[in-house]
Structure 1
Amino acid sequence: MPAPLTPQPPVAAYTFAQRLSATPRGARLARHLAVAQLHAWGIPHGSHASEAVAVIVAELAANAVTHGRVPGRDFELRLSLPTGSVRIEISDTRTEPRPPKPGDVPHPHPLDEHGRGLVLVEALADRWEVLDREPPGKTVRAEVDVPGWLSLAGPGWSDVAERRRRRI
């Protein structure tokens, strides 16, 4: 006789994806859509997570439009809610130039007019990485923790939430 299944908490798959034109208007729209989607998921405007995601989306979308633009090709914004965090993914269709890896982002000179985008991403994101994707292109993925959501994830997550609170 097979062993009985252990009850698991329900898992809600929250995902949002939108292709946008690789223009400054598309980058601005990505930020607005991201904040509106987070609000619809229950992460209110003005919260730390919402503000951090807004800045990260703005910077990554601006980079996709400025450095990852291929004429006639869009970029993609994808948001999801893995347990305890908001995941942001911005994909473009250009493999070069490659952004620096996490931890290798150079800090600009104080008088430089450019070069602060990934510094902000590195400061605001709890984790981020650059991934190759098929067809050719790249995806920059960043995550912002939402500690209050960890307690909703079911048994065992309260310990993770407490460790993260102590780390901050």
Structure 2
Amino acid sequence: MKADQADPVTPYADGTIGVTIKYGKSYEDTWAVFRGSVKQVRELICDYFGFESKDVTGLSLSDLVVNATNLAHGKGNIAALLDARIIPEDSPVQAPEDDPWAAASAVQSEPKTDSGSAWILGEIEKQGTIADLQKLWAANQSMFADSSVMAAYKSRGRALKEQ
């Protein structure tokens, strides 16, 4: 261990231990400190990091600390490098107006009808160039597993070549 690094596990005179998990390498980065008996520290770490006890039952405290440290470092790196924020799963997220990913996911094709392939067959007929036809295929590949859709696609492609 380097002289400038703190020992992550500290034994105390009263028989308890302390575990320090850092989110990064610098002193300014967030730290989480857990103190108690080995069992208490284990439970505190599981609770703090959201580990299910059934998933970590076979791990030693040392292994658990390694997993928690890796998770902390990952979260710290994401927050620092990408300016990311951790939000609850059920929280409604409002994307910034200039977010290209939000804009891309908001672009919707015409809704598909309940008649299976009717929508894609109509779209195939609307295409005016082979390039547009290929783009339609690229955006809706799963629909082309239907042999009637693929036949219509090929037929439209031949018709566009002849024009």
Task: Tell me which structure has the larger Cα radius of gyration.
Answer: 2
Pick the structure with more strand per residue. Answer: 1
Q: Does the TM-score normalized on the shorter chain lie above 0.5?
A: no
TM-score (norm 2): 0.28
For normalisation by structure 1, the TM-score amounts to 0.27
